Amino acid sequence: MAEDLIIIQSESKMQQYQSLLPQIEALISGEEDLTANLANISAALKEQFGWLWVGFYLVKKDELVLGPFQGPVACTRIKKGKGVCGKAWADIKTLIVDDVDQFPGHIACSSASRSEIVLPLIKDGIVVGVLDADSADLAHFDETDETYLNQIITYIKL
Ligand code: SME
């Protein structure tokens, strides 16, 4: 199978997701390995959207530990309730932060990050990780991202 992605140049975020989603589903559907699938999802999102950083943190014992990602090096461990990722874990809900400088306790892995979305990965009612995306632009993420990223999360065999 060829692993080339078709990247569309569209002004519409929705159209970009609609092109990308079936490709991501196809890319990971035949593979059982979680690390491989999270790595390819990160790469596909980075390639289509060019965000500053996108990737996963996975719950290990009482912390989130850095998983597959694309972008600048990042902090490796985040405690429950800390930063945007730890808060999304503690509250079991998606967080969209328009301006990370206004988010109390935001963990600045990169000073270039201006806005962020974090979605929990939930298995049997328990958060087992988060999907985190950072943009260099303010207020970059919205409900469209939340909807489609949540759809991508449903493809993952956690
Ligand atoms: N900003 C995140 C930390 C992870 S990095 O953005 C990759 C947070 O506040 O939890």
- For 71-116, the pLDDT digits (tens) are 999 999 999 999 999 999 999 999 999 999 999 999 998 899 999 9
Length of the chain in residues, anyone? Answer: 158
CB 103 within 8 A of CB 138: no
Instruction: Confirm whether 6 is domain-assigned.
Output: no
pTM, whole model, 2 decimals? 0.96
Instruction: Confirm whether 35 is domain-assigned.
Output: yes
- From residue 155, give the alpha-carbon distance in Å to each of 26, 134, 141, 144, 149: 9, 21, 21, 18, 10
63: domain CATH number is 3.30.450.40
Alpha carbon 6 to its chain centroid, in Å, reads: 20
Mutation choice for ligand 1 from 46, 77, 79, 84, CB with most ligand atoms inside 8 A: 84
Instruction: Confirm whether 40 is domain-assigned.
Output: yes
Q: Is 145 in the pocket of ligand 1 (CB under 6 A)?
A: no
Write the pLDDT tens digit of every residue in 16-58.
Answer: 999 999 999 999 999 999 999 999 999 999 999 999 999 999 9
Question: Helices H, strands E: what count in the chain?
Answer: 4, 6
Return the bridge partners of 64, or none: 59, 78
Going by CA atoms, what residue is nearest to atom 5 of ligand 1?
109
Phi-psi sector, 83: left (phi>0), alpha (psi -120 to 50), beta: left
- Total domain count, the chain: 1
Instruction: Confirm whether 55 is domain-assigned.
Output: yes
